[in-house]
Structure 1
Amino acid sequence: MQRLADLQARGRRSILPSPGFKVVETAFALDEALMKQFYDRHPGNTTAAEAEVELFVALLVNEVRSA
């Protein structure tokens, strides 16, 4: 509790959830089958495929956060 009080005194946000809220951790892996879909969409252009994967992951994380 002292650590929480110290964080609040310094105006920092605690990573601890508010009472009544639950924390859910998820993990996903970009396996070969998923990556193949992006590489197939951009034949011979790995930079474009990887850029699209980064966008996909960012959008996925955004959806999970807002759910």
Structure 2
Amino acid sequence: MRVVLEVENSKEGRALINCLKQLPFVKIRESQKLKKEHKFEEIFGIWKDRNITKEKLREKAWRM
């Protein structure tokens, strides 16, 4: 059986993994970090301080 857990706090997540490792019937294969969602403006610095939205960009792109 496979179970996927999502823990918000990384410190608590590590504590949970350490606890689970003590159980002989639990195998932990690999932990994956989830991609953190960024704000649109943080990802694309070239548009910093400009009045542009994802919707406006999509609209311009589809007009081509």
TM-score, L = length of structure 1:
0.27
Higher normalized helix content (fraction of residues) = 1
Q: Could you say which structure has the greater relative contact order, defined with CA pairs below 8 angstroms and 6 or more residues apart?
A: 1
